[in-house]
Amino acid sequence: MSAVPEKGAPAPHQNPSPVLEVRNLRVEFPSRRGTLVAVDGISFAIAPGEVLGVVGESGAGKSLTGTAIIGLLEPPGRIAGGEILFEGERIDLLREERMRRIRGRRIGAIFQDPLTSLNPLYTVGAQLVETIRTHLPVGIADARARAIALLREVGIPAPEARIDHYPHQFSGGMRQRVVIALALCAEPRLVIADEPTTALDVSIQAQIIQLLKKLARERGTAIMLITHDMGVIAETADRVAVLYAGRIAEIGPVREIVGNARHPYTVGLMGAIPKIGAGAGKRRARLVQIEGSMPRLNAMPAGCAFHPRCAKCFARCTRERPEARPIGPNLAACWLYE
């Protein structure tokens, strides 16, 4: 399993200008009982050709971070603080009309359920052609030719015929490929992929992973890959951000996160993954279990949000909230390294 960029991949660190910069992002939900903070001070950047994996339990704030970036937060959710910069331009304050043009033209999105992204009343070709013509100055014939080329690129067999089929005529994996083609219509610089392999069988997952890696390697597209599947992260990402209760617990190169995690929560996540290939004579270690569950937004503990579940908790953890600090090549928000 290799998580480093493949041969020929653009080296993300060679380009000092990130495609996406998120600085101290805060997402709130006003309620009758007070304001709930769902994303609390998240910061990261993604370089051209880089895949950043965003991982964590359900409710950690992964998908909310993605929807905030592309301007699709559902009311009453709102961005209450921080900045989102796309290719140096601040986009979190843009009007909806301007943001819609950026979202379609320069930022693509791939969602978990392809049926929510495809209109069942129109052929996939009609949807691709409409999207292409909305964002690029091309005629119908050129748009159709481009749509066929995109379907071929994402691995749809016989695209000249399948372009006139409806979404229900495709399998789940093929529909997800069509959604990826839609996301690539206008050659975006950034793709937000939210659980793109969930509910797909393992062989189709592998094909989707290869598509995303090819996209980053050959087009230099920056990809934010949101998932709870560490296997997908280890195979696809260059760096990993581990979220817990709306904050980044740890961020670093994928090999460091998988093989040498610093934050106790990340250590627990990695310890819960079965190891394959242990020798027949070796005693198999028990998988790690993180006791308890993630706190509710209206009952966030003081200090480090993870301290009620942490075996290494001490007094300071219960009082003061740690900020992310460098620990080797990683950044980790933990008082153990103070």
pLDDT, greater one: 273 or 239: 239
The pLDDT assigned to 201 comes to 80
Helix (H) or strand (E) holding 219: helix 202-219
Instruction: Report the range out of 99-108, 228-237, 311-320 with the highest average pLDDT.
Output: 311-320
**4: pLDDT confidence band, cut at 50, 70 and 90?**
very low
The pLDDT assigned to 223 comes to 96
Q: Is the pLDDT of residue 237 over 80?
A: yes
Please, are residues 4 and 211 in contact by the beta-carbon 8 Å criterion? no
As a whole-number percent, the residues of the chain with pLDDT over 70 amount to 92
Which amino acid, 255? R
Give the integer Cα–Cα distance in Å for 290 and 277: 24
Which amino acid, 17? S
Give the integer Cα–Cα distance in Å for 59 and 45: 22
Give the integer Cα–Cα distance in Å for 261 and 265: 9
**288: pLDDT confidence band, cut at 50, 70 and 90?**
confident
Give the integer Cα–Cα distance in Å for 117 and 127: 10
**203: pLDDT confidence band, cut at 50, 70 and 90?**
confident
| DSSP 8-state class, residue 94 | S
The pLDDT assigned to 276 comes to 63
| DSSP 8-state class, residue 309 | G
- What would the two tokens of residue 232 be? 């997908």
The pLDDT assigned to 308 comes to 96
The pLDDT assigned to 7 comes to 39
Burial class from Cβ neighbours inside 10 Å (0-12, 13-18, 19+) for residue 252 reads buried
**Tens digit of pLDDT for each residue in 126-176?**
999 999 999 899 999 999 999 999 999 888 999 999 999 999 999 988 998
The pLDDT assigned to 275 comes to 67
The pLDDT assigned to 304 comes to 97
The pLDDT assigned to 284 comes to 58
Closest CA to 187 of 119, 138, 115, 117: 138
User: What mean pLDDT, rounded, does the chain reach?
Assistant: 89
Mean pLDDT of 3-29: 69
